[in-house]
Amino acid sequence: MTEAVIRKKPGMASVKDMPILQDGPPPGGFAPVRYARRIPNNGPSAMAIFLAAFGAFSYGMYQVGQGNKIRR
């Protein structure tokens, strides 16, 4: 559609002669935007993960020590 049809002015008209038509927010404003992260609280806690990793590391180091004793 042309500006002449939209602004109800017949034929070609100068931009300066056309009424100003500016977009704006709807009455009452826009709905609020949800931007907060919603992360579920399932799964193991940070402490449980840390203890499991520490236990696996400790067991691995124990096995390395046992292998070193045999190799000596």
Dig out the tokens for 16 from the structure: 């300066």
For 36-57, letters b (16+ CB in 10 Å) and e give: eeeeeeeeeeeeeeeeeeeeee
Domain count, the chain: 1
Give the span between the Cα atoms of 7 and 20, in whole angstroms. Answer: 9
- pLDDT tens, position by position, 21-72: 778 888 888 899 888 888 778 889 999 999 999 999 999 999 999 999 999 9
Range of the structural domain that residue 7 is part of: 2-71
Q: How many CA atoms lie within 13 A of 21 on its CB side?
A: 11
Confidence of residue 7 (pLDDT cuts 50, 70, 90): low
